[in-house]
Structure 1
Amino acid sequence: MSHSTTSADPSSHLSLFPTLPAVIPPTTRLNFLKNWWQRSVMSASHAEGRLLQRIVPNTDISLTQPSLYPLVGRSVAIPVGNGSHVNTFTLSPLTNSAKLPITDSAPTPVVWDHTSTWEQGDKDAVLERGENSKNLVMCHGYGAGLGFFYKNFYALGQVSGWNLYAIDWLGMGRSSRPKWTITKKSNQTWDDIVEETESHFVQSLEEWRKSVGLEKMTLMGHSLGGYFATCYSLKYPERVEKLILVSPAGIAQSPKGLISQEPSDKSPQELLENEAKELGATMQAEAAESAGQQLPPTTTPPARRIPGWARYMWDHNITPMSIVRMIGPFGASLVNTYTSRRFAHLSTEEQHDIYDYIYQITSSTGSGEYALASILAPGAYARKPLFHRLAKLEMPTVFIYGEQDWMDYKAAEEARKKMKVDTKVIRISEGGHHMYIDNPQEFNAAMVDEMKN
């Protein structure tokens, strides 16, 4: 096992972490080309590291406050069988005072210890856990990774008696990327595929839990990660003390009038021609209605349909990540367009770090991303909605949404009426789907409250 630590420099929080190469800024076409050309396992590690460097808040902190604990952060690859590993970031109180760096007679807030290898049973390589400590496990959503929680780690790590874990789902982020083999065969139903896909992620999380040696945890999942966290909690209720679902996917049922079709063998041209006919019929009906004409008794406005091109891409598992990979250096530009708009409220340097992180994990080999079409039908509604399964949960459950979230919190409100456990629905002001980045102060406060109660 190898460790590398960097001595503290009083002048900079970033010096608490290993020195990393600067991000290639998304400012020129040449830089997009460089970023695409230089992609590697190491560049993805560096991109994650830059976000983790931002754990310590950029505010003046009195390190002598009794409530402020020195923390040790570790990045570890946890084996989950078949030669695969789950990328894991851990944060816990530093229990060995002899390891405490001193800066101006006060402990540094975070000590970084990057563990490159890990041996089965070596629990100390993961965390220095107290006898009665509790565990928070954080799971990211689709197209994301554990680095997305960089604004939350420090505040949550300060809760006394808790250890924090954040993971990349198997096949996503910087975890192993095994070949995706779950595809619908002619003799299978979508229920079969959903069950197989859910089992894939649930069992990898259970293998991770066994490797780390956790008996119980508070499990937090965002978006698609919330979907899989719910599935895990239903199968292993004895392992989950509390379930926190952050803007979870897959709860609401598909609304009436939204029509999606089974995977089609038609060519894109045939699908687009059919879509044009449907669109023409819809426009004709709408034009007649706006002109005040009475439609014939046998004519009804066509139900809203998923565009043919969208159905084709969805059914053939063409993901946003595969498009980024397909268009080479232009993929980096596409990611930058998204990040610069979605995270415009962040500083330029922070936007660049998020852009590089998303690009590095997005452009990696496709694997877990292909689960999306198995779990969700075209239109992003679950093939097997959680709405009907939430009533079977056996642990207190908390739903957290942003007030500007595109995910509808009302589905959780309705599901709550049928649940037999203590259930809350919390909304974060000035927050969208990634409210933990949009308004980390309010999100962190809500999380801390749930950890303490």
Structure 2
Amino acid sequence: MQDETEFEDTNGNWSWWPSWRPTSMSLLKTAEAKILACLRNDVWARFVTLPDHNRIWTLTVTNKTARRTSEQASKTPLVMVHGFGGGVGLWIRNLDPLSRSRAVHAFDLLGFGRSSRPAFPTDAELAEDQSVTSIEQWRQAMGMERMILLGHSLGGYLASSYAIRYPDRVAHLILVDPWGFPERPQPDANENAGQGLDVKRTAPPRWVKAIASVLSLFNPLALIRAAGPWGPGLVSRFRPDFKRKFEDLFDDNTMTEYLYHCNAQTPSGEVGFRAMTETMAWAKRPMLQRVHQLPPSLPVTMLYGALSWVDSSSGDRVVQIRGQSPTRVMVIPNASHHVYADQYEDFNSVVQRLCDTVD
């Protein structure tokens, strides 16, 4: 694996933080390298520099047996965009299989993983714009004309926004359990009118409202950083599923350690995500309000996990909104929100078939 010169982005770190939080970009690099060592195909790992000097950590995976032919070069590349709090390492079960017939690119979103961590606006539209603009600048720097764009969760939201703004650059939009599509349900003031007090919903206790109010003042992953040396254990305790999802690859805490180091760094993209949210589950600018702006000819496929907290009915609404445009919703059995890891063989098979429809 080829690797560009490492850099440390310490913007915004207070000098005493490193002694409290057992993390650094070097530790993140080490954790990621252990994961990427599982790859069997050729991997080119480097930082791609944007016009504003921010850098995007990027992997390009190509098939060893096809690299000397023009077969892969002639095919539209697949670009994979991770979700909130993730990074390129989470695609470890997918990169080799999906690069058999075409180049696969995966990058850490601006503000996440090993990419630069600039300041993000607190305005939802501006925060979204900064992320989407960075994706387009990355594409230009990579020299790609068109791509098959796949986004998971927050990555699906940003991929959709990108496709609306730069439709000529997307050959097929694949949204995997995308976050931020439905509108937040509004309480109906007249819902219980005239039905008696016995059906009136009980308001949450004041202490619950008080805690929720305090937590809303902080970034979503602030607790991991505030926990200091207990942070890694906190991630292992609350996300043991990530260890189970990859237990045949690693018999230790490799994946939870990777997640910890991805998210214990200086908050950046996390600030942008908070700006885009009403709450963790709802976007201030729901994508269902804008999905009609996608070009009618653009194929869109939405993949959901049958056991996910993300409701696949949003996909059904996209089908209705787009009418005769090529739109498909697929639900993968026995998969949670992290479809790509839970049922990776089914996921890889579906994505491969979708890519084959492009070229």
Question: Which category describes the TM-score, using the shorter chain as reference length?
Answer: 0.7 to 0.9
1:408 to 294, 301, 311: 311
* Deviation digits for residues 192-212 of structure 1 (CA, Å, limit 9, x no counterpart): x22211110010001100101
Aligned to 2:35: 51
* Deviation digits for residues 226-251 of structure 1 (CA, Å, limit 9, x no counterpart): 10110000000010011000000111
Contact 1:140 1:146 in 2 (8 A): yes
What does residue range 301-316 of structure 1 map to in structure 2 within 5 Å? 301=201, 307-314=209-216, 316=217
Shift in Å, 1:93: 3.1
Distance 2:275 2:253 in 1: 32
Contact 1:311 1:378 in 2 (8 A): no
Shift in Å, 1:317: 3.5
Equivalent AA in structure 1 for residue 240 of structure 2: S
Structure 2 residue runs without a partner (length 5+): 4-17, 190-194
Secondary structure of the 2:244 match is: coil
Aligned to 1:271: none
Distance 2:312 2:277 in 1: 18
Distance 1:423 1:404 in 2: 22
Secondary structure of the 2:42 match is: strand
2:112 to 157, 172, 182: 172
Distance 1:403 1:300 in 2: 32
* Deviation digits for residues 376-416 of structure 1 (CA, Å, limit 9, x no counterpart): 10252111111121122121000001110110001111221
Shift in Å, 1:83: 2.1
What does residue range 354-365 of structure 1 map to in structure 2 within 5 Å? 354-365=255-266
Distance 2:244 2:119 in 1: 35
Aligned to 1:157: 99
Contact 2:309 2:336 in 1 (8 A): yes
Secondary structure of the 2:265 match is: coil
Structure 1 residues 304 and 241: alpha-carbon distance in aligned structure 2, compared to 1, 3 A threshold? farther
Distance 1:82 1:345 in 2: 37
Distance 2:111 2:245 in 1: 30
Distance 1:212 1:129 in 2: 19
Aligned to 1:295: 197
Distance 1:311 1:129 in 2: 56
* Deviation digits for residues 5-62 of structure 1 (CA, Å, limit 9, x no counterpart): xxxxxxxxxxxxxxxxxxxxxxxxxxxxx99765322211111111112234xxxxxx
Shift in Å, 1:73: 0.8
Distance 1:450 1:304 in 2: 46
Secondary structure of the 1:431 match is: coil
Distance 1:327 1:355 in 2: 15
What does residue range 5-404 of structure 1 map to in structure 2 within 5 Å? 39-56=23-40, 71-94=41-64, 131-158=73-100, 160=101, 162-180=102-120, 182-183=121-122, 193-257=123-187, 295=197, 300-301=200-201, 307-314=209-216, 316-320=217-221, 322-344=222-244, 346-347=246-247, 349-350=250-251, 352-378=253-279, 380-394=281-295, 395-404=298-307
Aligned to 1:106: none
Equivalent AA in structure 1 for residue 55 of structure 2: H
Distance 1:175 1:206 in 2: 15
Secondary structure of the 1:134 match is: coil
Distance 1:207 1:46 in 2: 27
Secondary structure of the 1:219 match is: strand
Equivalent AA in structure 2 for residue 408 of structure 1: D
Give identity over the alignment, percent.
29
Contact 2:22 2:228 in 1 (8 A): no
Contact 1:129 1:163 in 2 (8 A): no
Equivalent AA in structure 2 for residue 148 of structure 1: L
Secondary structure of the 1:418 match is: helix
CA RMSD of the aligned region, Å?
2.9
Aligned to 2:348: 444
Secondary structure of the 2:239 match is: helix
Contact 1:87 1:168 in 2 (8 A): yes
Aligned to 2:14: none
Contact 1:136 1:218 in 2 (8 A): yes
Contact 1:399 1:424 in 2 (8 A): yes
Structure 1 residue runs without a partner (length 5+): 5-33, 57-70, 98-127, 184-192, 260-292
Aligned to 2:333: 429
Contact 1:221 1:245 in 2 (8 A): yes
Q: Normalising by structure 1, what TM-score? A: 0.68
Structure 1 residues 452 and 341: alpha-carbon distance in aligned structure 2, compared to 1, 3 A threshold? closer
Contact 1:251 1:387 in 2 (8 A): yes
Secondary structure of the 2:155 match is: helix
Secondary structure of the 2:184 match is: coil
Contact 1:140 1:221 in 2 (8 A): yes
Structure 1 residues 295 and 168: alpha-carbon distance in aligned structure 2, compared to 1, 3 A threshold? same
Secondary structure of the 2:38 match is: helix
Structure 1 residues 81 and 446: alpha-carbon distance in aligned structure 2, compared to 1, 3 A threshold? same
Contact 1:177 1:367 in 2 (8 A): yes
Question: Rg bigger for which structure?
Answer: 1
